[in-house]
Amino acid sequence: MNASEPCPPLHRLRFDDPGPPRRTTLADGTRAWLLTRYADVYQVLDDTRFRRSPPRGSNAPLPIASNLANNPDALPRQEGAEHLRLRHLFQRMLNPRAVGHMESWVVDAIDQVLDELVERGSPADLVDGFTNPLPIMVVSRLLDIPDVNEEQLLRWAAHALADTTRDIAEVADATRELAEFTADIVARRRRTPGEDLVSVVVEAADRDGSVPERQLIALVNLLVVGGHHTTSTMLGNILLFLLAERPQDWARLGADETAADALTERLLHLIPVGDPQRPRPLYATEDAEICGVTIRSGDIVMADRLTASHDPEAFPAPFSDLFAPLENPTLAFGAGPHYCPGAWLARTELRHGLHRLAARLPGLHLTAPPNATEWRSGSITRSPLHLPATW
Ligand code: HEM
């Protein structure tokens, strides 16, 4: 990655050309393989010979920040049958068919947020008025937590996905508060089940009988945070790009739903939700061949999704052609067994949200240049703190 500005908008990041697997040395001196080509990254993410937990007794590198996804009980850290069992607790609630049934209330939520935005009038901050409230409204309905405090939810998410710059005691406090909140909902759903996602997870876990309570709480924590934070981060970064750099595409986005689908998929793919960082290490459990190179059992592999997403062999269309259908499945939601289970819901919110915002406010434009953007920092994700706009 290289960028001339200290904190550039994420759509301005540029990546080195991908190449064959190569040896690299991590900051702590550990030797690893770095994969940057789309085909190689996809292959290892989808290959169960590459695991996420270091083999017992190894001196493999630890995760960089102590955040929610690095909690040993969290879904992203599970493997094999244990991982599948946890995903089965909730996957049918978020698969494409289930999300198809949610589409009408997601659109209602978008219209409600837009009504409130328009009623408050121009000028407005699109972060306060759109990119934060929409995903929060959706996750509140999904988990049936209508009275959740928006500020609190934002704080928990920022700390749950903390980077190494945050105060450890503050991260611990926010993590404990989130876990208490989650434990309370879990207890309430056990007493009085409903039809929401938490009720389904709790009922399935109790029926299974072998899911440790701490794993159940870690899973619900992740759904509370993952259910809104990444979608709002993505919305903020996409709006900054479209409104600042592509005003000519705004009218087509609002007029043509099919074009909005293609545009959303390409922007999801092209604009990262955070700065490039050391990828999560994967550990080879057997010898495996990647692009003609033999990776030995025990080797550490770093799969660089961001560079791979810009691999011209897999994605030949130029950056400028935003409405061209994506040539290969995006890595924005990962790949393989840990593929983001919220991908279909996120896509639904993004494509309807962007399309309806552009249709409702065709004259929307930012009132500050992208270089003046203040950024939300301290997390592994980054997005504008404000998007001041008029229409
Ligand atoms: C634009 C929005 C989103 C993006 C870009 C995104 C991206 C990702 C990525 C890259 C992963 C990691 C895949 C891996 O470990 O290889 C992931 C995992 C996950 N996401 Fe999302 N996500 C989004 C929205 C959501 C939503 C809306 C939910 C919940 C409703 C969600 C829940 C999860 C969960 C539970 C995991 C862990 C899966 C596992 O380890 O098996 N995400 N997401």
pLDDT single digits (tens) 271-290: 999 998 878 889 999 999 99
pLDDT band at 339 (very low <50, low <70, confident <90, very high): very high
Residue 222 has pLDDT above 50, yes or no: yes
Q: How far is the CA of 334 from the centre of ligand 1 (A)?
A: 8
What's the pLDDT at 282? 93
Using one digit for the tens of pLDDT, what is the confidence trace for 191-204?
Answer: 999 999 999 999 99
pLDDT at 177 over 80: yes
| Minimal-distance CA residue to ligand 1 atom 15 | 338
Given ligand 1 and candidates 340, 344, 345, which is best to mutate, with the most ligand atoms within 8 Å of its CB?
A: 340
pLDDT of residue 1: 41
Q: Which residues pair with 290 in a beta bridge?
A: 293
Distance from Cα 338 to the centre of ligand 1, integer Å:
8
pLDDT at position 3 is 41
pLDDT band at 29 (very low <50, low <70, confident <90, very high): confident
Where does the pLDDT of residue 2 fall: very low under 50, low under 70, confident under 90, or very high at 90 and above? Answer: very low
Q: What atom in ligand 1 is closest to the CA of residue 347?
A: 1
Reply yes or no on whether the pLDDT at 238 is more than 90: yes
Counting atoms of ligand 1 from 1, which one is nearest the CA of 87? 41
Residue 57 pLDDT more than 70?
Answer: no
Atom of ligand 1 nearest to the CA of 197: 30
If one residue of 84, 224, 230 were mutated to test the ligand 1 pocket, choosing by the most ligand atoms within 8 A of its CB, it would be 230
The alpha carbon of 145 and the centre of ligand 1 are apart by a number of angstroms equal to 20
Question: What's residue 338's pLDDT?
Answer: 96
pLDDT at 64: 53
Shortest-distance Cα residue to atom 43 of ligand 1: 340
Task: Give the pLDDT confidence score for residue 4 in this predicted structure.
Answer: 44
Q: Please report the pLDDT score of residue 55 as a whole number.
A: 72
Ligand 1 atom with least separation from CA of 280: 15
Distance from the CA of 359 to the center of ligand 1, in angstroms? 28
In this prediction, residue 58 has a pLDDT band, given cuts at 50, 70 and 90, of low
Q: What is the mean pLDDT of residues 188-192?
A: 97
Please give the distance, rounded to the nearest whole angstrom, from the Cα atom of residue 227 to the centre of ligand 1.
Answer: 8
Q: Which atom of ligand 1 is nearest to the CA of 45?
A: 16
Pick the residue whose CA is nearest to atom 41 on ligand 1. 338
Q: What is the CA radius of gyration of the chain?
A: 21
pLDDT for the residue 66: 56
- Compute, in angstroms, the gap from residue 73 CA to the centroid of ligand 1: 16
Write the pLDDT tens digit of every residue in 295-321: 999 999 999 999 999 999 999 987 778
- Answer yes or no: is pLDDT of 61 > 90: no
Domains of the chain: 10-390 (1.10.630.10)
Q: What are the pocket residues of ligand 1 if the criterion is a CB atom closer than 6 Å to any ligand atom?
A: 45, 75-76, 87, 94, 222-223, 226-227, 230-231, 234, 273, 332-334, 338, 340-342, 345-346
CA of 171 to the centre of ligand 1 (A): 21
Mean pLDDT, the chain, whole residue set: 92
Q: What is the pLDDT of residue 28?
A: 81
All residues at 6 or more sequence positions from 187 whose CB lies less than 8 Å from its CB, including other chains: none
Ligand 1 centroid, distance to 137 Cα (angstroms):
18
| Interval between CA 72 and ligand 1 midpoint (Å) | 17
List, for residues 66-122, the tens digit of each pLDDT value: 577 678 899 998 999 999 999 999 999 999 999 999 999 999 999 999 999 999 999
Closest CA to 332 of 353, 315, 356, 320: 315
The protein residue with its alpha carbon nearest to ligand 1, atom 17, reads 340
Say yes or no to pLDDT of 62 above 60. no
Ligand 1 centre and the CA of 369: distance in Å? 31
How many angstroms separate the CA atoms of 93 and 135, rounded?
A: 17
Task: Name every residue whose Cβ is closer than 8 Å to that of residue 258 and which is 6 or more positions away in sequence.
Answer: none
Please report the pLDDT score of residue 59 as a whole number.
Answer: 62
Contacts of 203 (CB under 8 A, 6+ apart): 189, 193
| Residue with CA at minimum distance from ligand 1 atom 6 | 333
Give the C-alpha separation, 22 to 42, whole Å: 16
The residue nearest atom 20 of ligand 1, judged by CA position, is 340
Q: Which of 4-18, 182-196, 244-258 has the lowest mean pLDDT?
A: 4-18
Nearest ligand 1 atom to alpha carbon 331: 10
Pairing of strands 365-366, 288-290: unpaired
Tell whether the model's pLDDT for residue 380 goes beyond 70: yes
Kindly give the distance from the C-alpha atom of residue 341 to the centroid of ligand 1, in angstroms, as a whole number.
6
For residue 56, pLDDT over 90 is answered with no
At residue 278, the pLDDT reads: 79
- Pull the structure tokens for residue 64: 């960089």
- Confidence (pLDDT) at 226: 92
